[in-house]
Amino acid sequence: MSGQKRPVIGISVGDLNGIGIELIIKTFSDGRLMDFCTPVVFASSKVLNYYRKLLPEININYTSIKEVSKAIPKQLNLFNVWEEEVAIQPGQMNEIGGKYGVLSLQAAVKALKDKTIDGLVTAPLHKFTMQSSDFNFTGHTPYLQEAFQADDVLMLMIAENMRVGLLTEHIAIGEVAKHISKEKIIKKINLLKTSLKKDFGVDKPKIAVLGLNPHAGDEGLVGKEEKEIIRPAVLEAKKPDCIVMGPYSADAFFARGNHEKFDAILAMYHDQGLIPFKSLALGEGTNFTAGLSAIRTSPDHGTAFDIAGKGIADESSFRGAVFAAIDIFDTRMGYAELRKNPMRKMSAQVVANVEDERIEE
């Protein structure tokens, strides 16, 4: 990390009765992670200590801070969002767990907007317990879109061997077709293209678009959305700086391993994208909110009430989300630097061309 800024990564704890805090403790018990970022957990010392006692075999220390801007490097920092005692019931789905999980999220998002943290990793909230008169969102993504007043956002699942974006997210399957339009597809493709360049360093993205119906509609025999909406959108979205192909039949696309031949895939609905992603992604899958001015990642799973408090939750995806936030921060810093100094990029291209000529010789 010599000469490179170590990002401050905020952590919201999710539903207090889920596995979120256990994942946080397990992840940051490995002190080597502090070489790559300065973590700040938004919760309370009482809640963190409760879960520490449930995991006596894991040694973890933290430092309480009163100002997020004064987070201490090389340490796990805790910003106390509330002081009162909270009744924690691991594995129980109740209003209290969701309420305080939302308070953690709101405090972390405020810090993200104030730029006292450089990125946010969100532990899972439950879509039912998070609901209240003060918080009426179907998930993190729409809340963050409103908080940052983003024109549009994209739920993008990322792993080492694939990236899958969703055209539609948490809506009933019977409503999906109503939410598909040429304009929306083009908008999501453009958002995905920009994110691939800015957040992942892909200069000329190659994007695959899936069809909605079985066999991508079979030329209109089992659905007309492909011919009338999706294919025209794909043709219009093709630009000199981006290759866009499709619509592809979803089953054959993944069965033939085509997910590894593209920089990203745009799926039409939630399960069409997430089932193959969770089945085929190598290593730790991560949910990234593309389109925000800020960086937000999360693990690719939910609150897992059925195993909460038992000490058996696997932190791999959460740890992957932390590293993804760090990587995206580094890529964005490099992207901003290149745009600030375009001559550097031109010089790098000249060097690359010379190297290519030497190889040909």
β-bridge mates for residue 166, sequence order: 267
Q: Are residues 2 and 137 in the same domain?
A: yes
Q: Evaluate whether 125 touches 98 at the Cβ level (below 8 Å).
A: yes
Q: Are residues 93 and 158 in the same domain?
A: no
Among 260, 290, 320, which residue terminates a domain? Answer: 290
How much is the pLDDT for 356?
A: 43
Q: Are residues 283 and 339 in the same domain?
A: no
Cβ neighbour number for residue 94 with a 10 Å cutoff: 15
Domain count, the chain: 2
Q: Are residues 139 and 248 in the same domain?
A: no
Return the CATH number at 189.
Answer: 3.40.718.10
Given CA atoms 330, 64, 113, 121 in this order, what sign does their dihedral have?
positive
How much is the pLDDT for 341?
A: 61
Q: Are residues 37 and 142 in the same domain?
A: yes
Q: Are residues 53 and 83 in the same domain?
A: yes
Q: Are residues 285 and 347 in the same domain?
A: no
Question: Can you give the residue range of the structural domain that contains 167?
Answer: 151-290
Q: Which residues of 294-327 are buried (b: 16+ CB within 10 A; e: fewer)?
A: bbbbbbbbebbbebbbebebebbbbbbbbbbbbb
How much is the pLDDT for 352?
A: 43
Tell me the C-alpha distance between 156 and 304, whole Å.
Answer: 21
Tell me the C-alpha distance between 247 and 231, whole Å.
Answer: 6
Q: Are residues 113 and 27 in the same domain?
A: yes
How much is the pLDDT for 58?
A: 94
Among 241, 264, 290, which residue terminates a domain? Answer: 290
One pLDDT digit (tens) per residue for the chain, 361 residues: 445 689 999 999 999 999 999 999 999 999 999 999 999 999 999 999 999 999 999 999 999 999 999 999 999 999 999 999 999 999 999 999 999 999 999 999 999 999 999 999 999 999 899 988 888 888 899 999 999 999 999 999 999 999 999 999 989 999 999 999 999 999 999 999 999 999 999 999 999 999 999 998 778 887 899 999 999 999 999 999 999 999 999 999 999 999 999 999 999 999 999 999 999 987 679 999 999 999 999 999 999 999 999 999 999 999 999 999 999 999 999 877 776 665 554 444 544 444 444 433 4
Token reading at 324: 């993804």
Q: Evaluate whether 132 touches 99 at the Cβ level (below 8 Å).
A: yes
Q: Are residues 110 and 164 in the same domain?
A: no
In three-state form (DSSP H/G/I as H, E/B as E, the rest C), the secondary structure along the chain is CCCCCCCEEEEECCCCCCCHHHHHHHHHCCHHHHHCCEEEEEECHHHHHHHHHHCCCCCCCCEEECCHHHCCCCCCEEEECCCCCCCCCCCCCCHHHHHHHHHHHHHHHHHHHHCCCCEEEECCCCCCCCCECCECCCCHHHHHHHHCCCCCCEEEEEECCEEEEECCCCCCHHHCHHHCCHHHHHHHHHHHHHHHHHHHCCCCCEEEEECCCHHHHCCCCCCCHHHHHHHHHHHHHCECCEEEEEEECHHHHHHCCHHHCCCEEEECCHHHHHHHHHHHCCCCCEEEEECCCCCEEEECCCCCHHHCCCCCCCCHHHHHHHHHHHHHHHHHHHHHHHHHCHHHHHHHHHHHHHHHHHHHC
Give Cα separations from 205 to 42, 195, 265 (angstroms).
36, 10, 11
Q: Evaluate whether 319 touches 284 at the Cβ level (below 8 Å).
A: yes
CA angle (6 as vertex; 5, 10 as ends), nearest 5:
130
Q: Are residues 94 and 133 in the same domain?
A: yes
How much is the pLDDT for 79?
A: 98
Q: Are residues 277 and 326 in the same domain?
A: no
Q: Are residues 121 and 159 in the same domain?
A: no
Among 290, 308, 340, which residue terminates a domain? Answer: 290
Q: How many CA atoms lie within 13 A of 188 on its CB side?
A: 30
Q: Are strands 162-166 and 119-122 parallel, antiparallel or unpaired?
A: unpaired
How much is the pLDDT for 139?
A: 86
